[in-house]
Amino acid sequence: MRADGTAPGRPAPDGREDRELLRRCAREVVDVAEGIRAVSARTSTALFTPALTASARRRPRTGLPAQWALLRALTNKHGLGGSAITAPKGMGHVLGTAGEVLGRESLAALVAVTSLRLRIAAVLVDHPEFVRDPGMRRLTEAVTADKDLAAVRSLRALFRDQGAQRALSGLAPLMAELLAIRALLDEDPYNDETGWALATGRELSADPLHGVSAARLAGLDQGEGAAEAVGLTDQERQVIATKGSFLGFLRNIETLSTNGRILLQNVRGPDGVVRYVLQAPGMAPGRPRTDSPQDFVGAWRNLFMPDSPYTRAILLALRDYGIPRGADLALIGHSEGGIAVMNLAQSEEFCRTYRVTHVVAVGSPVDNKKPADPRTWVASITNQHDIVPVLDGRGAGSAFDPHPNWYEVDYTGPTHEFPLCHMLHEYIEHLRTVVPEARERVDEALAPYRGPVVRTQAYQLKDRANPPEGYPFLTLPTTSLPTTAGPVDVPVRYYDSSAAHLCFAVDADTARGLLPGVTWMTPSRLGRRALAVLSLYEHRCTTIGPYTEIALSVLVDDLWRPRPYDVALDLLRRVDLRRTGRYVVSLAVTSEEARAVAREIWGQPAVRASAEARLTGRDLAVRSPELGLAVDGRLGPGARCPEADWILYGRRGESTIRTLVRAHGGLRLHSGGGIRLRLDTGAAEPLAGQLRRLGIATARPRLVLTCPQFMLHRSAGAVLPR
């Protein structure tokens, strides 16, 4: 089978017809699924009806067989399935929930998942590039499993794995389908309604990711919101548009950046009437949260709430700005800004106060919202590869169009990578070059606002409810250091990483040969052997961008006073008091920023090489064709270990660089039996030659330390006079 799930030997998918056929079939199958679900519900009602319960008590000879026949029909795994019992309360509810928690899917859910899988296949016809995506690889394994239960198991594993979810973020056009499958298959019976709504195109009342209701979300989101009038910098004032236009408003939003400010402007229209324009920026994808309500978490939370800290803060800003009652108001928003302005537009009270003439949302998930004033003109501009607009559950594979009267543009832009494709400057560029007709159409609609700007005021919005990302572990004072790849804040913070450390016992003299040619650096000995560690990392979110890292290091003794068993004693010390550490003899990273930081700040011999790592599950897989290195295998049972802080050593010129690494996350120790390292290159450097010299080129590690998800920070390297 090919990676896209189609059979080999068949002609490659050539587009429209196949896609439409798959979507039609998906629609037909989901109709059937809904029908089966209704049958299950009626059969459940029959089983638990008081008429049957009471009469069966009086006439058990015929009543019990009737109850048994109904129970059998509802629970037979070759029929309606394990959790087909649906009842809002009582024993029926307990049985249905138990079936789901035990992982027995109902036939209705399995058929709905088949429909969603067909929708995914339809999207793949348009997006063959997904085949190369690491997230897609895992997704393909899951959705192409030829047995329902195998597919269910793989998908469940995939959705439990947060690392995979991040990888899947590149598959934005599929996100609605993935979220629906997740809601239908996970053990949480409370989010099934969300899964069904996504599968069948009904209106959502819950967050598609978690499937929790808006009412439950309200309890999570108690930020009060605040707004304060702030001045623009001289530089900003120079670039703020002086005349109203669609791209001008978007450029204003871009100028404001995503640091929690909005802009309000008075525009004198061609008819001489002064109108008002609210411009709301979006969130900062991939960046840590600040105290601003504009962040990714906020966007997801606020998506299904008409009221959010962002919306509340905007209302305060509007009140302060002093817009007269009944004045014409246009709302322009990007990303979460678009959600916030749609939240405003769907408030009846807001629409009674102001006449909301236009709402333009760019890269925003607004499909589940509807303005309170039917006269409001709404435009939604989205790039198909942008994950954010599909957070409301309407993806590219969807055949449902909830707003036939809106002006909606869902184009395929040249930028596919998230978060790049979500950035406003990409949207502005695409509106200029890829979909200029959309820009013209919106400008035409905004004609009453196409005049000189007569007043501009920025407001700083605040949400005091959210702590910063990684708080408190990653809340640290930082210093900016220059590198050839640009300034870098240290400590470098890693918000979401996975790691596997493969530990090998190696010949001490050979290990010594890999260390710098100085007398005072010696490998730590365990008996007559030294310890070499091949560390594999998948860093999904860091302050220097995501990257994969492969590092070979050797444990070394105290640089001044080496003693036997230093390593063992050091393990009992706090990390900042340790004298032993790991000298990094070779390092490969996949990004230029990471290479520059490792070389210039930590003194490690970093090279840039492509690599793919999958370290979040029991099956480890790391491949770097450039290095000729592959590590794969299945981890055996493991035991929990204390968190692994450590010291890394590097060299810069004649000095040794000591870097303190602190980690936070569950570390486990496994035997190395199931993991194999393979070298497929004759090259001597980098890495391969050293692995060969250490005699571990094809060896199995003694021990493997793993951490499927953790946070860490690496300090600026301290220069030692050694």
Partner 1 sequence: MVTESPDRTSYDAELLDRAEALRSDAELMDEYARRLRATADTLVGCPAAPEWSRPTLERQAAACTTAAEQLRTAAEALRAHAGAGD
Q: Which range of residues in 13-21, 162-170, 360-368, 703-711 is near partner 1 by CB under 8 A?
A: 13-21
Among 3, 98, 131, 145, binds partner 1 (CB under 8 A): 145
Residue 28 interacting with partner 1 (CB under 8 A): yes
Interaction between residue 18 and partner 1 (CB under 8 A): yes
C-alpha span between 712 and 492 (Å, rounded): 8
- Min CB(8)–partner 1 separation in Å: 9
Q: Of 124 and 329, which has the nearer Cβ to partner 1?
A: 124
What are 689's two structure tokens?
């030659």
Kindly state the smallest distance separating residue 199's Cβ from partner 1, in Å: 15
> For partner 1, which is the closer residue by CB, 118 or 438?
118
Residue selected from 55, 200, 478, 510 as contacting partner 1 according to rule CB under 8 A: 55
CB of 196 to partner 1, least distance (A): 16
Residue 343, SS3? helix
Q: Are 314 and 347 within 8 A, CB to CB? A: no
Q: In what order do the strands lie in the sheet with 407-411?
A: 226-230, 453-462, 261-268, 274-280, 328-334, 355-362, 377-383, 407-411
Q: Is 572 in the site for partner 1 (CB under 8 A)?
A: no
Please, which residue, 39 or 703, has the CB nearer to partner 1?
39
- Region of 12-20, 168-176, 469-477, 581-589 interacting with partner 1 (CB under 8 A): 12-20
Cα-to-chain-centroid distance, residue 717: 31
> DSSP string of 91-146?
HHHHHHHHHHHTT--BHHHHHHHHHHHHHHHHHHHH-GGGGG-HHHHHHHHHHT-S
Site membership for partner 1, residue 185 (CB under 8 A): no
**Interface pick for partner 1 out of 85, 121, 204, 677 (rule CB under 8 A):** 121
281: left (phi over 0), alpha (psi -120 to 50) or beta: beta
Footprint on residues 293-352 left by partner 1 (CB under 8 A): none
- Does 124 bind partner 1 (CB under 8 A)? Our answer is yes
Q: Give the type of residue at 547.
A: Y
Question: Is the bond preceding residue 293 a cis peptide, omega within 30 degrees?
Answer: no
Tokens for 213? Answer: 């209701």
In the complex, the smallest distance separating the C-beta of residue 399 from partner 1, rounded to whole angstroms, is 15
| Residue/partner pairs of 9-16 with CB below 8 Å, 24 or more apart | 13/124, 13/125, 13/128, 15/125, 15/126
Residue type at 226 in one-letter notation = A
Q: Which stretch binds partner 1 (CB under 8 A): 141-149, 210-218, 272-280, 507-515?
A: 141-149
Q: Which is nearer to partner 1, 52 or 218 (CB)?
A: 52
**Tokens 């070499």 belong to residue:** 532
Name residues whose C-beta falls within 8 Å of residue 145's C-beta, 6 or more positions apart in sequence. Answer: 151, 153, 154
**Closer of 91 and 518 to partner 1 (Cβ):** 91
Q: What's the closest the beta carbon of residue 13 comes to partner 1, in angstroms? A: 4
- Amino acid identity, residue 298? G
Q: Which residues, in sequence order, are CB contacts of 660 under 8 Å at separation 6+?
A: 575, 576, 645, 647, 714, 715, 718
Half-sphere exposure of 215 (CA within 13 A, CB side): 2
| End-to-end C-alpha distance for the chain, whole angstroms | 57
Place of tokens 């702590």: 467
CA atoms within 13 A on the CB side of 220: 16
Can residue 146 be called a binding residue for partner 1 (CB under 8 A)?
A: yes
User: Which lies closer to partner 1 via its Cβ, residue 69 or residue 102?
Assistant: 69
**Of 14 and 271, which has the nearer Cβ to partner 1?**
14
Contact 347, 310 (CB under 8 A): no
Q: Select the residue interacting with partner 1 from 3, 52, 420, 575 (CB under 8 A).
A: 52
- State the Cα–Cα distance between residues 227 and 329, nearest whole angstrom: 19
Q: Kindly tell me which of 152 and 687 has the beta carbon lying closer to partner 1.
A: 152
Ranges within 32-51 binding partner 1 (CB under 8 A): 32, 35-36, 39, 42-43, 46, 49, 51
Question: Does residue 6 touch partner 1 according to CB under 8 A?
Answer: yes
Q: Which is nearer to partner 1, 65 or 468 (CB)?
A: 65
- Closer CB to partner 1, 70 or 362, in the complex: 70
The half-sphere exposure of 452 on its side-chain side, counting CA atoms within 13 A, is 2
- Got the DSSP string for 236-298? HHHHS-SB--HHHHHHHHHHHTTSSEEEEEEEE-TTS-EEEEEEE----TTSPP-SSS-SHHH
**Which position among 7, 572, 577, 639 is part of the footprint of partner 1 (CB under 8 A)?**
7
Residue with tokens 């309170």: 372
Q: Which is nearer to partner 1, 68 or 565 (CB)?
A: 68
Least gap, CB of 42 to partner 1 (angstroms): 6
CA separation for the pair 531, 514 (Å, rounded): 12
Contact residue for partner 1 among 85, 125, 396, 536 (CB under 8 A):
125
- Using CB under 8 A as the binding rule, whether residue 148 contacts partner 1 is answered as yes
Q: 369, 362, 375: which is closest to 424 by C-alpha?
A: 362
Nearer to partner 1, 38 or 571 (CB): 38
Please give the Cα distance from 124 to 53 (Å, whole number): 50
Any contact of residue 21 with partner 1 (CB under 8 A)?
Answer: yes
Nearer to partner 1, 5 or 306 (CB): 5
Residue closer to partner 1 by CB (options 29, 688) is 29
The site that binds partner 1 (CB under 8 A) totals a number of residues, namely: 63
Q: Smallest gap, in angstroms, from Cβ of residue 33 to partner 1? A: 9
Helical residues (DSSP H) of 364-471, grouped into ranges:
424-433, 436-445
Only one of the segments 142-150, 299-307, 346-354, 473-481 lies at the binding site for partner 1 (rule: CB under 8 A); that segment is: 142-150
CB of 302 to partner 1, least distance (A): 36
If binding is defined by CB under 8 A, does position 13 make contact with partner 1?
Answer: yes
Q: How far apart are CA 300 and CA 285, in angstroms?
A: 12
Does position 12 interact with partner 1 (CB under 8 A)? The reply is yes
Closest CA to 470 of 487, 492, 488, 486: 492
Q: What is the dihedral of CA 427, 431, 437, 440, to 10 degrees?
A: 110
The residue (of 157 and 274) whose beta carbon lies closer to partner 1 is 157
* Touching partner 1, residues 58-117 (CB under 8 A): 58-59, 61-63, 65-66, 68-70, 72-73, 76, 78-81, 107, 110-111, 114, 117
- 50 or 642: CB nearest partner 1: 50
Enter the tokens of residue 400.
Answer: 């449902």
Least separation in angstroms between residue 35's CB and partner 1 is 6
Minimum distance, C-beta of residue 685 to partner 1, in the bound complex (Å): 44
Q: Are 337 and 253 in contact (CB under 8 A)?
A: yes
Q: In the complex, what is the shortest distance from the CB of residue 120 to partner 1, in angstroms, rounded to a whole number?
A: 9
CB of 18 to partner 1, least distance (A): 4
Give 17 or 437: the residue with its C-beta nearer to partner 1. Answer: 17
Contacting positions for partner 1 (CB under 8 A):
1, 5-7, 10-14, 18-19, 21-22, 25, 28-29, 31-32, 35-36, 39, 42-43, 46, 49, 51-52, 54-56, 58-59, 61-63, 65-66, 68-70, 72-73, 76, 78-81, 107, 110-111, 114, 117-118, 121-122, 124-125, 143-146, 148, 151
